[in-house]
Amino acid sequence: MLDVMSQAQNAIEAYTEALKASSANIANMNVPGYKKINVSFQSVFEKVLSRGTAADNNRGGTNPQQLGQGMALSQTSIDLSAGDLTTGSPIDLAISGSGFFIVSPDGGNTFLYSRAGNFEINANGSLTSNGMLVYGLDASGNVVPITNLPSGNSANYQWLADGTLQFTADPTAAPPTYVNTGYSIALTYFANPSGLVQAQGTSFAETLASGAAAAAQGPGGAVGTVKPGQIEQSNVFFLGESIASLELQRALSANLSVIKLASDLVSSFIQKLG
């Protein structure tokens, strides 16, 4: 009975962690740039009573006798598939491809990487993503924060397909006259993006598994292209995630029932001894 209870306990712990990941996915289903977490399981602690015997001339062999296996979490991974694109404001930007925006929560001391292009302009005239500075390329190709923008009104800006950010003093003019701000968006990519780890907001931080970020560049090539005025939504599929969470809850309930059954049998046995 102790083996039965131990197997069920291991399963409950694994399914509970998986349910946490599924709950986080559902909670973030409407967050731009969010990437869902996938969880997989593995069998462990196999118990083989007999490995069987081979047949000989006088009699047949015997098959192995086994009592199955326990289970545990195998791994968790980030699903980096693209989310649907929706129309945003003129200063929003989406990536079509495997690139990432470069952002910083601390003025450039630390760099993070994001797919969330729902940009805003803060009180200092800096372009931000979830409160973090967004980095671009200046006229010389240097990686710099996009700052000192002439207006805080997102309607005064537009992105070009090559990633250039433009400004107009009067977006209602017919047609409006745009000038370059001196910035274009900076993008990067990773050799193993699945090795990234979740960080602030919907951003990611590099790890030894992901490798270092490639040199920043404008749209094109390995980083993909950009979609002006678009926002990449979460890649969580609500119906599929809801079904998965219900299956996890059923598995939890079943293993709790196994523990209760084993506990009742042990209690009954002890009562008979007494």
Boundaries of every domain in the chain = 2-50+63-80+237-273, 85-232
More confident call, 4 vs 163: 163
146 CB burial (10 A radius; 0-12, 13-18, 19+): buried
Is residue 47 over pLDDT 90? Answer: no
Is residue 274 over pLDDT 70? Answer: no
Q: What does pTM read for this prediction?
A: 0.84
Is residue 126 over pLDDT 90? Answer: yes
Mean pLDDT, all residues of the chain: 91
Q: Which band of pLDDT confidence, cut at 50, 70 and 90, is reported for residue 1?
A: low
Side chain identity at residue 258, one-letter code: V
Q: Which band of pLDDT confidence, cut at 50, 70 and 90, is reported for residue 65?
A: confident
Q: Quote the pLDDT of residue 2.
A: 65
pLDDT, mean of residues 123-129: 96
Is residue 165 over pLDDT 90? Answer: yes
Contacts for 237-246 with beta carbons within 8 Å, 24 or more apart? 238/26, 238/29, 241/22, 241/25, 241/26, 241/29, 241/36, 242/26, 244/22, 245/19, 245/22, 245/23, 245/26
